[in-house]
Amino acid sequence: DTEAVQELKAKAERDISVGGPHLAARAIQAGLVDEFQLFITPHVIGGGNQSLPRDVRLDLELLAERRFAGGVVYLRYRSKA
């Protein structure tokens, strides 16, 4: 429910986290997501569900990056829109 997320965002004194592909996609489409924080691991596993539906598309601006041991990379983006 994007209205519920919007209400939480308006009342929150701190950052809120939205997870799950369907809720995240709806929040992105509603313009409620300010930042994306990703951890990339050096493993590829086939199959499973998509992270986001196909109709979600954004241009992002890189805010921060950090490398960790074992090839893990942290990336922090914000939406350009």
Full-model pTM: 0.73
Helix residue ranges, H only, 2-60: 2-11, 21-29
Q: How many separate domains does the chain show?
A: 1
Instruction: Report residue 67's pLDDT band, with 50, 70 and 90 as the boundaries.
Output: very high
Which residues, other chains included, contact 7 with Cβ-Cβ below 8 Å and sequence gap of 6+?
none
Pairing state between β 60-67 and 35-40: unpaired
CATH classification of the domain holding 54:
3.40.430.10
pLDDT at position 56, please? 77
pLDDT at position 51, please? 73
Instruction: Report residue 4's pLDDT band, with 50, 70 and 90 as the boundaries.
Output: confident
Q: What is the domain extent for residue 70?
A: 2-79
pLDDT tens profile 20-58 = 777 778 888 888 888 999 999 999 888 877 777 777 788
For 7-13, what is the mean pLDDT?
Answer: 82
